[in-house]
Amino acid sequence: MVKSIILAAGKGTRMKSEIPKVLHTIFDKPILGYILDAVKNSGMVDYAYVITGHKSEMVDGYVKENYGYAETILQNPQLGTGHAVSMAVGKLQGYKGEVVIINGDTPLIKPETIKSLVISHRENKSDITVASTILENSSNYGRIVRAADGAVEEIVEEKDASTEQKRIKEINTGIFCINWDKVSRAFSELKNNNAQGEYYLTDIVKWGKENGLKAGAYIIEDSNEVLGINSCKQLAELTKILHDEIIDKHLSNGVNIVSPDTTWISPETEIGRDTIIYPNCYISGQNKIASNCKIGPFAHIRGGVEIDEYVKIGNFVELKKAKVKSHTNICHLSYVGDSEVGANVNIGAGTITANYNPLTKVKSKTIIEDNVKIGSNSVLVAPVRIKEGANVGAVGVITKDIEPWSLAVTRAPLKVLEGWVKRVLNK
Protein backbone atom coordinates (compact mmCIF):
# COMPACT_ATOMS: atom_id res chain seq x y z
CA MET A 1 0.00 0.00 0.00
CA VAL A 2 0.91 3.67 -0.45
CA LYS A 3 1.65 6.24 2.26
CA SER A 4 0.54 9.87 2.11
CA ILE A 5 1.96 13.15 3.38
CA ILE A 6 -0.61 15.94 3.75
CA LEU A 7 0.71 19.48 4.03
CA ALA A 8 -1.44 21.30 6.60
CA ALA A 9 0.96 23.62 8.40
CA GLY A 10 -0.03 26.95 6.86
CA LYS A 11 -1.52 29.74 8.93
CA GLY A 12 -3.92 30.91 6.23
CA THR A 13 -3.29 34.60 6.88
CA ARG A 14 -5.81 35.69 4.26
CA MET A 15 -8.58 33.78 6.06
CA LYS A 16 -8.30 36.48 8.77
CA SER A 17 -9.35 33.94 11.35
CA GLU A 18 -8.11 32.45 14.60
CA ILE A 19 -9.03 29.02 13.25
CA PRO A 20 -6.32 27.15 11.28
CA LYS A 21 -7.13 27.25 7.59
CA VAL A 22 -7.52 23.48 7.23
CA LEU A 23 -10.12 23.39 10.03
CA HIS A 24 -12.53 25.78 8.33
CA THR A 25 -15.58 23.79 7.31
CA ILE A 26 -17.72 22.90 4.33
CA PHE A 27 -21.04 21.30 5.34
CA ASP A 28 -19.76 21.28 8.94
CA LYS A 29 -16.76 19.13 7.94
CA PRO A 30 -13.23 20.59 8.09
CA ILE A 31 -11.35 21.09 4.83
CA LEU A 32 -8.66 18.69 6.06
CA GLY A 33 -11.29 16.00 6.52
CA TYR A 34 -12.11 16.07 2.82
CA ILE A 35 -8.47 15.41 1.94
CA LEU A 36 -8.05 12.68 4.54
CA ASP A 37 -11.22 10.97 3.31
CA ALA A 38 -10.21 11.26 -0.35
CA VAL A 39 -6.79 9.77 0.35
CA LYS A 40 -8.27 6.88 2.33
CA ASN A 41 -11.15 6.22 -0.08
CA SER A 42 -8.77 6.05 -3.05
CA GLY A 43 -8.11 2.48 -2.00
CA MET A 44 -4.40 3.09 -2.46
CA VAL A 45 -3.29 4.68 0.81
CA ASP A 46 -3.16 2.85 4.13
CA TYR A 47 -1.51 5.53 6.29
CA ALA A 48 -1.16 9.30 6.26
CA TYR A 49 1.14 11.82 7.91
CA VAL A 50 -0.35 15.29 8.42
CA ILE A 51 2.27 18.03 8.66
CA THR A 52 1.06 20.70 11.09
CA GLY A 53 2.28 24.12 12.10
CA HIS A 54 -0.03 27.01 12.99
CA LYS A 55 -2.11 26.11 16.06
CA SER A 56 -0.96 22.53 15.68
CA GLU A 57 -2.75 21.41 18.83
CA MET A 58 -6.13 22.08 17.20
CA VAL A 59 -5.24 20.11 14.08
CA ASP A 60 -3.69 17.34 16.21
CA GLY A 61 -6.92 17.00 18.16
CA TYR A 62 -9.08 16.80 15.04
CA VAL A 63 -6.91 14.14 13.39
CA LYS A 64 -6.55 12.06 16.55
CA GLU A 65 -10.28 12.10 17.25
CA ASN A 66 -11.45 11.28 13.73
CA TYR A 67 -8.75 9.46 11.75
CA GLY A 68 -7.12 6.38 13.22
CA TYR A 69 -5.11 5.78 10.08
CA ALA A 70 -3.29 9.13 10.33
CA GLU A 71 -0.91 10.95 12.64
CA THR A 72 0.43 14.49 12.84
CA ILE A 73 4.00 15.78 12.65
CA LEU A 74 4.89 19.32 13.69
CA GLN A 75 6.86 21.56 11.31
CA ASN A 76 8.55 24.29 13.32
CA PRO A 77 9.88 26.54 11.96
CA GLN A 78 8.01 26.52 8.65
CA LEU A 79 10.58 26.84 5.89
CA GLY A 80 8.56 25.81 2.85
CA THR A 81 6.82 22.82 1.35
CA GLY A 82 10.02 20.85 0.75
CA HIS A 83 10.99 21.36 4.37
CA ALA A 84 7.49 20.25 5.41
CA VAL A 85 7.84 16.91 3.63
CA SER A 86 11.26 16.41 5.22
CA MET A 87 9.51 16.27 8.61
CA ALA A 88 8.26 12.78 7.69
CA VAL A 89 11.66 11.36 6.70
CA GLY A 90 12.24 9.84 10.13
CA LYS A 91 8.80 8.19 10.15
CA LEU A 92 9.37 6.66 6.71
CA GLN A 93 12.90 5.41 7.28
CA GLY A 94 13.34 2.11 5.44
CA TYR A 95 10.07 2.46 3.53
CA LYS A 96 10.45 1.50 -0.15
CA GLY A 97 7.00 2.14 -1.60
CA GLU A 98 5.24 5.16 -3.09
CA VAL A 99 4.21 8.30 -1.24
CA VAL A 100 1.39 10.62 -2.33
CA ILE A 101 2.00 14.22 -1.26
CA ILE A 102 -0.98 16.56 -1.27
CA ASN A 103 -1.88 20.01 0.03
CA GLY A 104 -4.33 20.12 2.91
CA ASP A 105 -6.46 22.92 1.44
CA THR A 106 -7.88 21.25 -1.72
CA PRO A 107 -11.19 19.76 -0.52
CA LEU A 108 -12.60 18.99 -3.98
CA ILE A 109 -9.98 16.36 -4.83
CA LYS A 110 -11.66 13.04 -5.64
CA PRO A 111 -10.51 9.59 -4.46
CA GLU A 112 -10.61 8.38 -8.06
CA THR A 113 -8.12 11.08 -9.07
CA ILE A 114 -5.63 10.02 -6.40
CA LYS A 115 -6.02 6.42 -7.51
CA SER A 116 -5.46 7.36 -11.16
CA LEU A 117 -2.35 9.35 -10.22
CA VAL A 118 -0.78 6.32 -8.54
CA ILE A 119 -1.73 4.02 -11.42
CA SER A 120 -0.26 6.46 -13.97
CA HIS A 121 2.91 6.72 -11.89
CA ARG A 122 3.32 2.94 -11.91
CA GLU A 123 2.41 2.40 -15.55
CA ASN A 124 4.93 5.02 -16.71
CA LYS A 125 7.58 3.62 -14.37
CA SER A 126 8.25 7.12 -13.10
CA ASP A 127 10.20 7.99 -9.99
CA ILE A 128 8.42 11.34 -9.61
CA THR A 129 4.95 12.15 -10.96
CA VAL A 130 3.45 15.57 -10.50
CA ALA A 131 -0.29 16.03 -10.91
CA SER A 132 -0.87 18.98 -13.22
CA THR A 133 -3.86 20.67 -14.77
CA ILE A 134 -4.49 23.20 -17.55
CA LEU A 135 -5.65 26.71 -16.64
CA GLU A 136 -6.34 29.51 -19.09
CA ASN A 137 -5.30 31.94 -16.38
CA SER A 138 -2.28 30.32 -14.76
CA SER A 139 -1.21 33.35 -12.73
CA ASN A 140 0.06 32.65 -9.21
CA TYR A 141 0.70 28.97 -9.93
CA GLY A 142 3.93 27.05 -10.47
CA ARG A 143 4.43 26.24 -14.17
CA ILE A 144 5.26 22.80 -15.54
CA VAL A 145 8.32 23.13 -17.78
CA ARG A 146 8.64 20.27 -20.25
CA ALA A 147 11.46 19.14 -22.51
CA ALA A 148 11.01 18.77 -26.27
CA ASP A 149 10.08 15.08 -25.81
CA GLY A 150 7.36 15.97 -23.29
CA ALA A 151 9.24 14.90 -20.19
CA VAL A 152 8.96 17.16 -17.16
CA GLU A 153 12.16 19.11 -16.57
CA GLU A 154 11.20 21.34 -13.65
CA ILE A 155 8.47 23.30 -11.93
CA VAL A 156 9.00 27.04 -11.74
CA GLU A 157 7.14 29.09 -9.15
CA GLU A 158 5.36 32.28 -10.25
CA LYS A 159 7.79 34.61 -8.50
CA ASP A 160 10.78 32.87 -10.06
CA ALA A 161 9.32 32.39 -13.57
CA SER A 162 10.58 34.17 -16.65
CA THR A 163 8.22 36.05 -18.97
CA GLU A 164 8.16 33.08 -21.34
CA GLN A 165 7.54 30.58 -18.55
CA LYS A 166 4.63 32.65 -17.26
CA ARG A 167 2.84 31.97 -20.57
CA ILE A 168 2.70 28.25 -19.77
CA LYS A 169 -0.86 27.10 -18.98
CA GLU A 170 0.02 23.72 -17.44
CA ILE A 171 0.39 24.27 -13.72
CA ASN A 172 1.48 22.36 -10.66
CA THR A 173 -1.40 21.26 -8.42
CA GLY A 174 0.75 20.52 -5.38
CA ILE A 175 0.01 16.80 -5.63
CA PHE A 176 2.88 14.33 -6.20
CA CYS A 177 3.46 10.61 -6.28
CA ILE A 178 7.07 9.63 -5.63
CA ASN A 179 9.14 6.51 -5.11
CA TRP A 180 10.23 7.22 -1.58
CA ASP A 181 13.43 5.17 -1.48
CA LYS A 182 14.79 7.02 -4.54
CA VAL A 183 13.53 10.54 -3.82
CA SER A 184 13.65 10.94 -0.02
CA ARG A 185 17.32 11.96 -0.17
CA ALA A 186 16.24 15.09 -2.07
CA PHE A 187 14.70 16.60 1.03
CA SER A 188 18.10 16.99 2.67
CA GLU A 189 19.65 18.42 -0.49
CA LEU A 190 17.11 21.03 -1.64
CA LYS A 191 18.33 24.64 -1.84
CA ASN A 192 16.46 27.78 -0.81
CA ASN A 193 18.02 30.17 -3.30
CA ASN A 194 14.71 31.54 -4.55
CA ALA A 195 12.60 34.67 -4.15
CA GLN A 196 10.91 33.31 -1.02
CA GLY A 197 13.99 31.90 0.63
CA GLU A 198 12.11 28.62 1.11
CA TYR A 199 12.73 24.95 0.35
CA TYR A 200 10.29 24.17 -2.44
CA LEU A 201 8.78 20.73 -2.81
CA THR A 202 8.57 21.43 -6.54
CA ASP A 203 12.38 21.44 -6.77
CA ILE A 204 12.42 17.65 -6.43
CA VAL A 205 11.64 17.47 -10.17
CA LYS A 206 14.82 19.33 -11.10
CA TRP A 207 16.75 17.40 -8.44
CA GLY A 208 15.44 14.14 -9.90
CA LYS A 209 16.64 15.06 -13.39
CA GLU A 210 20.08 15.90 -12.04
CA ASN A 211 20.19 12.52 -10.31
CA GLY A 212 19.06 10.44 -13.27
CA LEU A 213 15.48 9.85 -12.15
CA LYS A 214 12.42 9.81 -14.38
CA ALA A 215 9.84 12.56 -13.83
CA GLY A 216 6.42 12.69 -15.46
CA ALA A 217 3.11 14.50 -15.14
CA TYR A 218 -0.43 13.25 -14.76
CA ILE A 219 -2.91 15.85 -16.07
CA ILE A 220 -6.10 16.23 -14.00
CA GLU A 221 -8.86 17.13 -16.45
CA ASP A 222 -11.20 18.83 -13.98
CA SER A 223 -9.19 21.74 -12.64
CA ASN A 224 -11.85 22.44 -10.00
CA GLU A 225 -10.57 19.42 -8.08
CA VAL A 226 -7.28 21.09 -7.29
CA LEU A 227 -8.50 24.57 -6.40
CA GLY A 228 -7.02 25.64 -3.07
CA ILE A 229 -8.52 27.76 -0.32
CA ASN A 230 -6.68 30.81 0.99
CA SER A 231 -9.53 33.15 1.92
CA CYS A 232 -13.11 33.09 3.11
CA LYS A 233 -14.18 34.15 -0.38
CA GLN A 234 -12.46 31.12 -1.90
CA LEU A 235 -14.02 28.92 0.79
CA ALA A 236 -17.46 30.14 -0.28
CA GLU A 237 -16.62 29.66 -3.97
CA LEU A 238 -15.48 26.07 -3.48
CA THR A 239 -18.48 25.33 -1.29
CA LYS A 240 -20.74 26.48 -4.14
CA ILE A 241 -18.87 24.27 -6.63
CA LEU A 242 -19.33 21.26 -4.36
CA HIS A 243 -22.98 22.23 -3.78
CA ASP A 244 -23.68 22.26 -7.51
CA GLU A 245 -22.00 18.86 -8.05
CA ILE A 246 -24.04 17.28 -5.26
CA ILE A 247 -27.35 18.77 -6.39
CA ASP A 248 -26.75 17.64 -9.99
CA LYS A 249 -25.99 14.09 -8.80
CA HIS A 250 -29.23 13.83 -6.81
CA LEU A 251 -31.34 15.34 -9.58
CA SER A 252 -29.86 12.81 -12.01
CA ASN A 253 -30.74 10.01 -9.58
CA GLY A 254 -34.44 10.94 -9.40
CA VAL A 255 -34.53 13.12 -6.31
CA ASN A 256 -36.99 16.01 -6.65
CA ILE A 257 -35.18 19.10 -5.37
CA VAL A 258 -37.70 21.94 -5.65
CA SER A 259 -35.20 24.78 -5.22
CA PRO A 260 -31.62 23.71 -6.01
CA ASP A 261 -30.19 27.12 -5.18
CA THR A 262 -31.53 27.13 -1.61
CA THR A 263 -30.96 23.44 -0.83
CA TRP A 264 -27.63 22.33 0.67
CA ILE A 265 -26.79 18.64 0.91
CA SER A 266 -23.53 17.16 2.20
CA PRO A 267 -21.56 14.80 -0.06
CA GLU A 268 -21.97 11.94 2.46
CA THR A 269 -25.79 12.03 2.34
CA GLU A 270 -27.64 9.34 0.38
CA ILE A 271 -31.17 10.07 -0.87
CA GLY A 272 -33.57 7.67 -2.58
CA ARG A 273 -35.53 8.42 -5.71
CA ASP A 274 -38.90 10.17 -5.61
CA THR A 275 -38.03 11.88 -2.38
CA ILE A 276 -38.94 15.58 -2.45
CA ILE A 277 -36.63 18.13 -0.88
CA TYR A 278 -38.49 21.41 -0.43
CA PRO A 279 -36.71 24.81 -0.38
CA ASN A 280 -34.31 26.09 2.27
CA CYS A 281 -33.15 22.76 3.66
CA TYR A 282 -29.64 22.25 5.08
CA ILE A 283 -28.37 18.68 5.34
CA SER A 284 -24.87 18.11 6.73
CA GLY A 285 -22.88 15.10 7.87
CA GLN A 286 -23.52 11.49 6.93
CA ASN A 287 -27.19 10.60 6.44
CA LYS A 288 -29.36 8.11 4.60
CA ILE A 289 -32.79 9.21 3.38
CA ALA A 290 -34.90 6.55 1.67
CA SER A 291 -37.30 6.88 -1.27
CA ASN A 292 -40.66 8.67 -1.29
CA CYS A 293 -39.92 10.97 1.63
CA LYS A 294 -40.78 14.64 2.01
CA ILE A 295 -38.17 16.88 3.59
CA GLY A 296 -38.75 20.53 4.47
CA PRO A 297 -39.18 23.31 3.74
CA PHE A 298 -36.68 24.80 6.23
CA ALA A 299 -35.56 21.43 7.62
CA HIS A 300 -32.16 20.96 9.22
CA ILE A 301 -30.57 17.48 9.26
CA ARG A 302 -27.29 17.51 11.17
CA GLY A 303 -25.74 14.10 10.57
CA GLY A 304 -26.11 10.53 11.77
CA VAL A 305 -29.70 10.44 10.51
CA GLU A 306 -31.41 7.44 8.88
CA ILE A 307 -34.89 7.93 7.44
CA ASP A 308 -36.98 5.08 6.03
CA GLU A 309 -39.49 5.32 3.19
CA TYR A 310 -42.61 7.52 3.23
CA VAL A 311 -41.44 9.71 6.09
CA LYS A 312 -42.29 13.40 6.29
CA ILE A 313 -39.85 15.80 7.96
CA GLY A 314 -41.59 19.15 7.88
CA ASN A 315 -40.88 22.85 8.21
CA PHE A 316 -38.42 24.01 10.87
CA VAL A 317 -37.73 20.46 12.06
CA GLU A 318 -34.21 19.56 13.17
CA LEU A 319 -32.85 16.01 13.33
CA LYS A 320 -29.52 14.75 14.69
CA LYS A 321 -28.35 11.16 15.23
CA ALA A 322 -31.89 9.90 14.76
CA LYS A 323 -33.36 6.80 13.13
CA VAL A 324 -36.89 7.27 11.80
CA LYS A 325 -38.89 4.32 10.47
CA SER A 326 -41.41 4.34 7.64
CA HIS A 327 -44.69 6.29 7.43
CA THR A 328 -43.79 8.58 10.31
CA ASN A 329 -44.52 12.32 10.39
CA ILE A 330 -42.44 14.94 12.21
CA CYS A 331 -44.08 17.93 10.66
CA HIS A 332 -43.56 21.21 12.48
CA LEU A 333 -41.06 23.05 14.66
CA SER A 334 -39.67 19.98 16.43
CA TYR A 335 -36.22 18.77 17.51
CA VAL A 336 -35.46 15.04 17.51
CA GLY A 337 -31.92 14.06 18.43
CA ASP A 338 -30.14 10.95 19.74
CA SER A 339 -33.37 9.07 19.16
CA GLU A 340 -35.03 6.06 17.59
CA VAL A 341 -38.49 6.69 16.19
CA GLY A 342 -40.68 3.81 15.07
CA ALA A 343 -43.09 3.37 12.17
CA ASN A 344 -46.47 5.11 11.88
CA VAL A 345 -45.55 7.66 14.52
CA ASN A 346 -46.91 11.20 14.58
CA ILE A 347 -44.92 13.82 16.45
CA GLY A 348 -46.84 17.03 17.08
CA ALA A 349 -45.61 20.56 16.55
CA GLY A 350 -43.03 21.91 18.97
CA THR A 351 -41.95 18.55 20.38
CA ILE A 352 -38.44 18.31 21.80
CA THR A 353 -36.31 15.34 22.79
CA ALA A 354 -34.25 16.61 25.73
CA ASN A 355 -31.22 14.36 25.53
CA TYR A 356 -28.40 16.37 27.08
CA ASN A 357 -27.68 16.80 30.77
CA PRO A 358 -25.63 20.02 31.07
CA LEU A 359 -24.37 19.08 34.55
CA THR A 360 -23.06 15.59 33.78
CA LYS A 361 -22.51 16.40 30.10
CA VAL A 362 -24.07 13.02 29.27
CA LYS A 363 -26.33 12.46 26.26
CA SER A 364 -29.06 9.87 26.69
CA LYS A 365 -31.38 8.22 24.22
CA THR A 366 -35.06 8.66 23.47
CA ILE A 367 -36.90 5.68 22.02
CA ILE A 368 -40.35 6.06 20.49
CA GLU A 369 -41.86 2.75 19.37
CA ASP A 370 -44.30 2.05 16.53
CA ASN A 371 -47.76 3.71 16.35
CA VAL A 372 -47.02 6.30 19.03
CA LYS A 373 -48.68 9.75 18.96
CA ILE A 374 -46.93 12.69 20.63
CA GLY A 375 -49.04 15.80 21.32
CA SER A 376 -47.85 19.29 20.47
CA ASN A 377 -45.35 21.15 22.67
CA SER A 378 -44.22 18.01 24.49
CA VAL A 379 -40.79 17.41 26.02
CA LEU A 380 -39.39 13.88 26.21
CA VAL A 381 -36.65 13.87 28.84
CA ALA A 382 -34.15 11.12 28.08
CA PRO A 383 -33.43 8.39 28.88
CA VAL A 384 -37.04 7.53 28.12
CA ARG A 385 -39.03 5.01 26.09
CA ILE A 386 -42.53 5.64 24.73
CA LYS A 387 -43.78 2.13 24.07
CA GLU A 388 -45.93 0.91 21.20
CA GLY A 389 -49.25 2.64 20.63
CA ALA A 390 -48.93 5.03 23.55
CA ASN A 391 -50.25 8.58 23.31
CA VAL A 392 -48.71 11.64 24.95
CA GLY A 393 -51.12 14.50 25.51
CA ALA A 394 -50.24 17.98 24.37
CA VAL A 395 -47.83 19.95 26.58
CA GLY A 396 -46.58 16.70 28.12
CA VAL A 397 -43.30 16.55 30.02
CA ILE A 398 -42.33 12.89 29.99
CA THR A 399 -39.64 11.79 32.44
CA LYS A 400 -40.30 8.05 32.66
CA ASP A 401 -41.21 5.20 30.33
CA ILE A 402 -44.82 5.04 29.06
CA GLU A 403 -46.36 1.59 28.79
CA PRO A 404 -47.93 0.32 25.53
CA TRP A 405 -51.25 1.81 24.44
CA SER A 406 -51.36 4.17 27.43
CA LEU A 407 -52.24 7.86 27.57
CA ALA A 408 -49.74 10.11 29.33
CA VAL A 409 -50.98 13.53 30.47
CA THR A 410 -48.91 15.85 32.65
CA ARG A 411 -50.60 19.25 32.30
CA ALA A 412 -52.62 20.80 35.13
CA PRO A 413 -56.42 20.51 34.95
CA LEU A 414 -58.14 23.28 33.02
CA LYS A 415 -59.72 25.95 35.22
CA VAL A 416 -62.34 28.34 33.75
CA LEU A 417 -63.22 31.59 35.57
CA GLU A 418 -66.50 32.61 33.99
CA GLY A 419 -67.05 36.35 33.49
CA TRP A 420 -63.46 37.19 34.52
CA VAL A 421 -62.74 39.41 31.47
CA LYS A 422 -65.84 41.54 31.97
CA ARG A 423 -65.10 41.98 35.65
CA VAL A 424 -61.58 43.20 34.86
CA LEU A 425 -62.75 45.55 32.15
CA ASN A 426 -65.47 47.08 34.34
CA LYS A 427 -62.97 48.22 36.99
Contacts of residue 135, Cβ cutoff 8 Å, sequence gap at least 6: 141, 169, 171, 223
Selected catalytic residue, list 24, 243, 327, 332: 332
**Beta 312-315 vs 294-295: how paired, if at all?**
parallel
Burial grade of 264 (CB within 10 A; 0-12, 13-18, 19 or more): buried
Contacts of residue 355, Cβ cutoff 8 Å, sequence gap at least 6: 337, 338, 339, 363, 364, 365, 366, 382
Q: Rounded distance, CA 352 to CA 159, Å?
A: 58
Q: Please tell me what DSSP assigns to residue 361.
A: T
Number of residues that this document lists for the chain: 427
Contacts of residue 155, Cβ cutoff 8 Å, sequence gap at least 6: 130, 142, 143, 144, 145, 172, 200, 202, 203, 205, 206
Q: Is residue 339 within 8 Å of residue 365, measured between CB atoms?
A: yes
Which residue type occupies 80?
Answer: G
Task: Determine whether 332 is an active site residue.
Answer: yes
DSSP assignments along 228-279, one per residue: ---SHHHHHHHHHHHHHHHHHHHHHTT-EES-GGG-EE-TT-EE-TT-EE-S
Q: Is residue 323 within 8 Å of residue 339, measured between CB atoms?
A: yes
Would you call the peptide bond into 111 cis, given omega within 30 degrees of 0 as the criterion?
no
Centroid of chain to Cα 362: 26
Q: Rounded distance, CA 399 to CA 409, Å?
A: 12
Closest CA to 402 of 384, 378, 382: 384
Ramachandran angles phi, psi of 141, nearest 5°? -115, 155
Q: Please tell me what DSSP assigns to residue 115.
A: H
Q: Rounded distance, CA 44 to CA 58, Å?
A: 27
Q: Please tell me what DSSP assigns to residue 395.
A: T
Beta partners for residue 305, in sequence order: 287
Enzyme catalytic residues: 332
